Amino acid sequence: EETNKQFPTENVATIADCASVIEGVSRSRNALLNGDTKNYDWDSGYTCHQLGSGAIVVQLAQPFMIGSIR
């Protein structure tokens, strides 16, 4: 049985690629996916969860084989 797996060559967890954060806490809904990695502080620019419970979950537009996350 052959499966159709795609290996992305660039970041697919972006707003432009229709990714969305479906679990996690942030003041701005798209903070994790907007591509801005330089402007963040205590009040904006990040997504978090409480240690020991919960998670940060990103839903991508389609299934991908992911080689790295950072």
Q: How many Å separate Cα 62 from the centre of its chain?
A: 13
Distances from the Cα of 50 to the Cαs of 17, 22, 41, 60, in angstroms? 27, 15, 18, 23
Instruction: Give the pLDDT confidence score for residue 11 in this predicted structure.
Output: 86
Q: Is the model's pLDDT at 1 over the cut of 80? A: no
Residue 6 DSSP SS3:
coil
Do residues 24 and 56 touch, judged by C-beta distance below 8 A? yes
pLDDT band for position 5 (cuts 50, 70, 90): low
| Higher local confidence (pLDDT), 1 or 51 | 51
Q: Please write the tens of the pLDDT for every residue from 20-39.
A: 999 998 888 788 898 887 88
State pTM to two decimals: 0.74
Identity of residue 14 = T
Residue 18 DSSP SS3:
coil
Instruction: Give the pLDDT confidence score for residue 20 in this predicted structure.
Output: 92
